[in-house]
Amino acid sequence: MTTDQQTIEATRAAFEDIIDEAPLPPEWSTVTGSVQRLHLREDRPRWLVGVGAALGAAAVVIVAIGAVVVFSDGSNDAQGTPATTEVPPTTAAPELTSTTAVPKGASAPIDITDGITVVASSELPGFEAIHLVDGDLDRAWNDAGLRGLDAEITITFSHPVGVGYLVVHPLRDEERFLRNYRVQGYEITTDDLAEPISGRLTDTLDPQQIDVASTATTVLTLKVTTRYPSQPFDGGPPFDELAIAEIRVFGDPLLDEPSATNPIDTTTTIAPPVIVESTTSRFTSPDLDVPEDPFLWDHYVANAKSGDVPVELRGQLFKVNYEVMKPMGALPLEYYSDVYEVGVHESATFLLDPDSNILVSIGWQEWDAADAPDANPLGFPDDAVSEQWGPDRVLINIDADRGEFGLVNESIMKVVRFATLNTAQGSSPLTISEAEMRRIAADVFAVIES
């Protein structure tokens, strides 16, 4: 029997061997010299090609939107004021790149806004968050008449990117600009930066840049901490909405980086971020048999939010802990709207929800019975294991693939409920036999494979 202390000591010895072979860290001058060389390399037309592509894409978007762009703020109309300026179709292409709107220098990152998803804490009908990234400066996001209080904008990337900076475009029509609330103070958090970035925008019609400098961001949140108040303009009353016309994200899409021996091909345009389809789930359920990129799993695992679902067992209500995954890069986004990863609980020292007595873990995790026979005492198939969790708790793992955490969707939650329902016997909940656990696992897999 291996004790915790033995495991720790054996592991520490392994780390000692690894660290013994670690090189000396490079000198500062070596590192900074590399940076200077990189800047020289980035002076090549790569960025120009990327920016040109972004400009082209923006122009296409604007042209497609065409002449129907009209300011018709529902809330503003409701306040009895006329809709503001119509934009003639000929003014189609607004300035959307920081290289023109906010000069950044020759090494400016490229526009990586396309393909991101954006969600706001609230939105006014007709002024949804999607307008923040639609490439159209004349269509804006408004909060739902909350004067910018607790306003948050969450941007999610399809895979980790390095965010260099944001460019925030206010409403560019002076009347609309002044009659709405504007961002003053902000706080930006990302899932890869330890510290939030806070600052203050100037109350100006010009677009403004917010530096981020993250390295591998999948989720970025911009929180409005203070606002410039709306004000009457030319007899028109002030509005209760905070408005932003557009947010563009510039940075590094973290595609394969050029090396010294494989310099940038200056004739190649920058491809949009892609989802690598490298594996297929072992589950045969249509809901789960989707391409996934296991190498990106880590990035969404850290971004789950937890909660619980009620499960009724023989007339008694229990809670099942779960974690809802935010949209990330491992699967096509459409699979994330109702994707769950159910929480796992390892030892009694963990902070368990005292009101929860059903703890379920469902993930895709390789279960190598040959390597870890003791961990699968019930002899479930390689991709499933269930174990009793304490005298009044049950842990069900349905695991497959690569030792990382995985996903279940709503259909699998039904399976979980089905399984947990079957664990409830009599008035003493969830004290079940090994034989019953075997039956549950068989039932679960029968449903999954059906």
Partner 1 sequence: MGVTDEEIYVKYRDELIRYAAVLVGPSDAEDVLSSVVMRALKSGRSLADLNEPRPYLMKAVLHESLNRKKRRRTEDLGDYAVEAKQSQPEVLKAVIDLPTRQRAAIYLSYWGGMNSNEVAEIMGCRPATVRRYVHLAKRKLEAVLSDDD
Q: Can you tell me the distance from the alpha carbon of 150 to that of 77, in angstroms, rounded to the nearest whole number?
A: 24
* Adjacent-strand bridge partners of 445: none
20 touches partner 1 (CB under 8 A): yes
Binding of residue 216 to partner 1 (CB under 8 A):
yes
Q: Is 162 in the site for partner 1 (CB under 8 A)?
A: yes
Residue 105: CB atoms within 10 Å: 11
Q: Which of 125, 229, 373, 377 binds partner 1 (CB under 8 A)?
A: 373
387 counts as binding partner 1 under rule CB under 8 A: no
d(C-alpha 158, C-alpha 156), whole Å: 7
Site string for partner 1, 331-370 (x = CB under 8 A): ------------xx-xx--xx-------------x-----
213 binds partner 1 (CB under 8 A): yes
Among 193, 309, 333, 447, binds partner 1 (CB under 8 A): 193
Q: By CB under 8 A, which span of 10-18, 47-55, 221-229, 279-287 interacts with partner 1?
A: 10-18
Q: Which is nearer to partner 1, 347 or 450 (CB)?
A: 347
Instruction: Give the residue with the Cβ less far from partner 1, 164 or 236.
Output: 164
Minimum distance, C-beta of residue 9 to partner 1, in the bound complex (Å): 9
Write out the binding residues for partner 1, residues 245-264 only, by CB under 8 A.
252, 254, 256
From 234, 334, 355, 374, residue interacting with partner 1 (rule: CB under 8 A): 374
Residue 40 interacting with partner 1 (CB under 8 A): no
Nearer to partner 1, 2 or 268 (CB): 2
Q: Report, in Å, the least distance between residue 374 CB and partner 1.
A: 6
Structure tokens at 446: 């029968």
Q: Which residues contact 377 (CB under 8 A, 6 or more apart)?
A: 387
Q: Based on the shown chain and the rule CB under 8 A, indicate whether residue 403 belongs to the binding site for partner 1.
A: yes
Residue nearer to partner 1 on the CB measure, 222 or 330: 330
Question: How large is the angle between the packed helices 434-449 and 410-423, nearest 10 degrees?
Answer: 150
Q: Closest CB to partner 1 among 124 and 216?
A: 216
Residue 19 or 68 with smaller CB distance to partner 1:
19
Residue for token pair 């000929």: 90
Binding test (CB under 8 A) with partner 1, winner from 152, 187, 203, 298: 298
Contact with partner 1 (CB under 8 A) among 155, 401, 405, 416: 405
6 binds partner 1 (CB under 8 A): yes
| Least Å from the CB of residue 115 to partner 1 | 18
**Residue 280 found at the interface with partner 1 (CB under 8 A):** no
Residue 299 lies near partner 1 (rule: CB under 8 A) = yes
Two structure tokens written together for 404: 């990382």
Note whether 199 binds partner 1 by CB under 8 A: no
Instruction: Pick between residue 16 and residue 234 the one whose CB is nearest to partner 1.
Output: 16
Distance CA 409, CA 362 (A): 10
> Least CB distance from residue 235 to partner 1, whole Å?
45
Nearer to partner 1, 39 or 314 (CB): 39
